[in-house]
A and B are shown apart, each in its own frame.
Chain A
Amino acid sequence: MTEAIPLVVQSLFMHDLNGREIVGDVSLHVERGEVLAIIGESGSGKTSVALSLLGFARPGMRISSGKILIGGTDILSVSGRQKRAFQGGKVSLVPQNPTTSFSPRMSVGKQMAELLAAHGHTGTGMKQLMRQALRSVDLPDDEKFFRRYPFELSGGQLQRIAIAMAFITSPQVIVMDEPTTGLDVSTQQTILELIARLVKSSSASVVYVTHDLAVVNVVADRVAVMLSGRIVEQGGRKQVFAAPSDDYTRMLLDAIPRLVTDCPAAAREAEGAIEIQSVLEVKNLRAAHGHVEVVHGVSFSVGKGECVGLVGGSGSGKTTTGRCVTGLHSNASGSLLFQGHLMPFAVSSRSKADLSAMQIVFQNPDRSLNPKESVAQSIARTVRLTGLADRAQVGAEVRSLLDRVRLPQRVVDLYPADLSGGERQRVAVARALAMKPKLLVCDEITSALDVSVQAAVVELLLDLKKDGLAMLFITHNLPLVSEIAQSIIILKDGNIVEAGKTNEVLRSPQDLYTKMLLGAAPRLN
């Protein structure tokens, strides 16, 4: 008698309540001990497929047809107690965002015990299992730790617990839904390693859902690429990556920022070296949140037409530095020299000219546009701030700005809610450009965007730089910065640990942290 394949999905269809197809005709199978990666951008239906493997559809969606066989039994055909025996028992899930995935008013120990109790474990055996599970994810296994509430633990710790809980019942199938996306760069790497280790040592079939192709490279045996609810390509990892058969897959692969040590930006920088005229000079910048100093004396400068990358993990002080520069954080000391003159920290005491000469674009496109203003209103308002009053002139300026960020004219009367994330970010850039700035501070402007969109925004920035705009590019993404910045500053805990020309820093990093960051950056090959 042959053992049933742990996971077989046959022709799965999912629809939303309006009858729109979310997932269409998805068929998969995962062998024992195999890792299948489902790759797709937001809206591709990959998470819906992942959750359906636990017999679950998010509200507003339903599984309309198809079979999901777990060890030979269709999880869609059972319900109630039987179904619950599957969930958490035979199929388990590692969620995307660990901090919102634990019940906030129950200690983590209790939540683990609850899971085990629901699947038939009791007494001391249960306790032992819990200890063992925590040890396997490199966490302390004492009573004190069990009594911790989710908010007392870091995202990384919580994700370790979530992973431990996914493995603790020895399920046949483990579904991991973007398990590293919500984590800090450096944590991402260790969690990824942990997953790889656990997967190797267990016999479970793993479905790993992600948008990050680089991650796939580390864990997956096979790959399925999803677009608009359908699988466009499926095959062995190496084969797909080396010779993608589908255009979309190819596009995805191309869009991934690569850590370019021989970057074009650096090359151009050599040409422009003739006029290294400093736009911004930051000297010994210290900034604090309340009484806690988070930036401890940072100095750097940005030249005309230069792009400086400010790189660091979360809590490194990179965003605070950017906010100090733009005047949004005035609890600071040190000096800011802008276009040759000293500039105060508070927005309210800066001159109009200074304010317009320096613009900031933020990370979250959802929050950086006023939802009550149309694209035209939002940009026109800014244009008028520069002194332009004539209706026709303002209109013309708005249109030319939209052209400049390569947005079609039809978006003029749309509202932010009608735009995609990438489009919103372009509007934000256009609005910043309306002030005719000399320096653009970009605070993680691509991190909330899909890979393909991200690439287009980067391209836009490169264009702008070509026009002589100075940029302070704040990011945690080292490969991205390597594509765009001439020089790069690595921040850690509020201190500059390394700074220099991009090429040099990336080629021969001096600091341990830089090396770690470089190591953590996923590569495709």
Chain B
Amino acid sequence: MSCKPPWPARPRRFRFLKVRPLNKPLLQLLLTRITLAVVTLFAVSIVVFAATQYLPGDPARAALGAKADPSAVEALRRQFGMDRPAVVQYFSWIEGALTGDFGRSIPSGRPVWEAIGPRAVNTLILTVTSLLLLIPLSFVLGILAAIYKDRLADHLISVPTIVTVALPEFVIGTVLIVLFAVYLRWLPPVSLINDSLPLSSQSSLFILPVLTLLGTTLAQVVRMVRAVALEVLSAEYIYMVRLRGISPARVLIWHVLPNTITPTIQTIALNAAWLAGGVVVTESVFQLPGIGSALSDAVINRDMPTVLAITLIITATYVLINLVSEALILLLNPRLRVARGNN
């Protein structure tokens, strides 16, 4: 009888991927985190729902215009179920939201998702691009600044980043528009996205908004990376590795970087949230049709279903990013990755 297992042996060269089954404590931790995230999301949905309940002004009246007669307003209120108690409204809403049905926008009477779906794509592109640039850029700049601490390179990195962090998005955005669009004419000042054309052909419309978001977030992450990297660089084990004659490049990539990443993940996650919030102002400066500008429109129009949907989407994204970052921290930590029973 052969004792060979029915599955093929895992090729050795993939060992570095550390594809080990998740061990129990790690799984438990992850499950706890996920549960917490879901609970948080529910709490947020209640808070936001409660807040929108207190929006002054009647959404039905706002939708029909001031001249509308009271019976029509009443009919619309009934149609949107606004005459029911808040608790009932909440549960019917959350029930729909869980199945992807965010109800109908009050002014247009169309499904909320139909209006914000395409906008969500634009916002997603904007934020994801910013995030994808933010991460490598902040690590490169932060570690460089740490290595050349208090030298020219450090100042060249630290001073501009500290200035941009001190500026609100609208100032950065406006400066970028004046500089790159009005004077230099390199880039379009207004992000007039055409839905009927492929987004790939309109990438230039995203450059300035992405730069604006980067400007407000990069500094924070660079500063954090720099601080962590400084700590790592002065750690005893880094000296030990260097005194073993390991080349500086190897020290940086295999020893400094991995130990810098984990503590900064949280900061990056926090900044991702700032990105999510910052899109409101940025989208308004560039008139980019995203969910940030849709939110401010919805707030003005007292379009409660849309406000709720967008806030929930943004918050869910935020919570998700935090969850992913926590999961990453757990997964990247060899202490938790390695099964305890191993010893």
Contact = CB atoms under 8 A, between A and B. Distances in A.
Interface string B219-263: 000000000000000111111111111110010001100110000
B246 A118 contact: yes
B342 A114 contact: no
B334 interface: yes
A417 interface: no
Contacts of B247: 81, 84, 118
B244 A114 contact: yes
A178 to B, nearest CB: 13
Interface string A142-165: 000000010110000000000001
A338 interface: no
A181 interface: no
A102 B240 contact: yes
A115 B246 contact: yes
A105 B258 CA distance: 7
A151 B245 contact: no
B71 interface: no
Given A95-B240, A103-B237, A152-B343, A86 B335 contact: no
B338 interface: yes
**How many of chain B's residues touch chain A, expressed as a range?**
20 to 34
Contacts of B241: 103, 111, 114
Query: Mostly helix, strand, loop or mixed at chain B's interface?
Result: helix
Given A104-B259, A104-B334, A152-B343, A97 B236 contact: yes
Interface string B161-189: 00000000000000000000000000000
B244 A105 contact: no
A134 interface: no
A102 B236 CA distance: 8
Contact of A101 (B236, B335, B342): B236
A408 interface: no
Contacts of B240: 93, 95, 101-103
Contact of A114 (B243, B246, B259, B334): B246
Interface in B256-283: 258-259
Interface in B299-337: 332, 334-335
Interface residues of A, number: 32
Given A106-B254, A149-B334, A152-B342, A54 B237 contact: no
A54 B240 CA distance: 11
B242 A87 contact: yes
Interface string A67-109: 0000000000000010011111100110101001111111000
A118 B245 contact: yes
Contacts of A106: 254-255, 258
A59 interface: yes
A501 interface: no
A89 B234 contact: no
Contact of B334 (A92, A101, A105, A119): A105
A104 B250 CA distance: 15
Contacts of B258: 105-106
Given A104-B334, A114-B250, A87 B245 contact: yes
B236 A84 contact: no
Given A95-B240, A100-B236, A84 B334 contact: no
Nearest to A60: B234
A135 to B, nearest CB: 21
Contacts of A88: 243-246
Nearest to B236: A100
A103 B259 contact: yes
A89 B335 CA distance: 31
A104 B236 CA distance: 11
A105 B335 CA distance: 9
Contact of A84 (B237, B238, B245): B245
A193 B334 CA distance: 32
A105 B259 contact: yes
14 contacts: A56-B242, A56-B243, A81-B247, A84-B246, A95-B236, A100-B236, A101-B236, A103-B255, A104-B237, A105-B332, A106-B254, A114-B244, A152-B338, A165-B244
Interface of B: 234-247, 250, 254-255, 258-259, 332, 334-335, 338, 342-343
Enumerate the 5 nearest inter-chain pairs by beta-carbon distance, A residue then B residue, closest first: A88-B245, A88-B244, A84-B245, A87-B245, A100-B236
